[in-house]
Amino acid sequence: AEHQHARYNPLRDDWVLVSAHRVKRPWQGQLEKPPPEDVPRWDPNNPLCPGATRANGEVNPQYEGTFVFPNDFPALQPDAPEPDDSDHPLFQAAPARGVCKVMCFHPWSDLTLPLMSLPEIRAVIDAWAELATELGASYPWVQIFENKGAMMGCSNPHPHCQVWASSFLPNEARLEDRTQCQYLSQHGVPMLLEYAEQEARRKERLVVENADWLVVVPYWATWPYQTLLLPRRHVCRLQDLSDSERDSLASIMQRLLIKYDNLFEVSFPYSMGWHGAPTGPYLGEDCRHWQLHAHYYPPLLRSATVRKFMVGYEMLAQAQRDLTPEQAAERLRSLPEVHYK
């Protein structure tokens, strides 16, 4: 807790430098602007609101729950042409096709996930699973992710996420596929299944838990209050969850996100996303090495206005953090589970 050391991340096959003493240094750097507290519940000019007109001229329905529609500015399209053949190994290109969708969580713009009811969060989980099934029928990777807050690049305060399905396995997916496959072959058990069992027993990095799930600040965490959401049983994909596991997932997500908001009494920014076994052509393959999990990457470090920057050493050498995962977990664990609002 007092001396610098490096920790190994078996999921990414890399290392993070932990320098806990550096959190005591005075801060004279950039201060972030807290998120606005006066977001209107409905704004006719907000393209994600019910009844609003989007950039392509389409009018949203008067939806009352979740609402899924094609991204008007997709990063991936299904009919992109093949790139030209390379004439040199240092100049390679490959096909990249897919579809991008946006999913609104709720019709109200001023409601984030931690402020939603359990049935409303459960509806989000069901919609995620439906999209994973639908797009995963043909695409090898379906990435569900939420960028929350302007600090994480979110351009619209309305509660929503994105779902990108791709014709290829992205870098993080390929890396986790390799490391989990190697771990299973060497140890005879899925990596993250054993990791969840170990963390449930040790408890020093545990944030919240219930009968089906646990949330930890991972031993190898990079971001200050990064967390990892894990099921207790072996499950490969989001769509494989039972009804009771989806209910308990809604509960533990709500508990975690309330703690996040309570940490600095602010609508807590983060990027989160689900990782599970590849789909499409991989549905018929042996994917036992995979364990479903969700990553939460929040940028805030000391307060609602001081964030962690990944620059300098982090960009040119390796990741570094300024407080131990155990300290972060203890602070999150001790927070109340009633929202500060």
For residue 282, the 8-state DSSP code is G
171 labeled binding residue: no
Q: What is the pLDDT at residue 304?
A: 83
pLDDT number for residue 2: 76
Read off the DSSP letter of residue 173: H
Element (H, E) at 69: strand 67-70
Query: pLDDT tens for residues 238-257?
Result: 999 999 999 999 999 999 99
If you average pLDDT over every residue of the chain, what do you get?
94
**Euclidean distance between CA atoms 36 and 221, whole angstroms:** 29
Ligand-binding site membership of 337 (annotated): no
The mean-pLDDT minimum among 149-158, 204-213, 278-287 falls in: 149-158
Instruction: Quickly state the pLDDT bin for 30 (edges 50, 70, 90).
Output: low
pTM: 0.95
Helix (H) or strand (E) segment spanning residue 272: strand 270-275
Task: Respond yes or no: is residue 5 known to be catalytic.
Answer: no
Query: Is 287 annotated as contributing to ligand binding?
Result: no
- Confidence band, pLDDT 50/70/90 cuts, at residue 326: very high
Out of 160, 187, 289, 339, the active site residue is 160
Please write the tens of the pLDDT for every residue from 93-111. 999 999 999 999 999 999 9
Which of 217, 318, 313 is CA-nearest to residue 14? 318
Domains of the chain: 39-80+94-334 (3.30.428.10)
Q: Of 19-33, 37-51, 314-328, which gets the smallest average pLDDT?
A: 19-33
Distance CA 197, CA 191 (A): 10
148 annotated as ligand-binding: no
Is 16 labelled a binding residue? no
Cα 15 from Cα 18, distance rounded (Å): 10
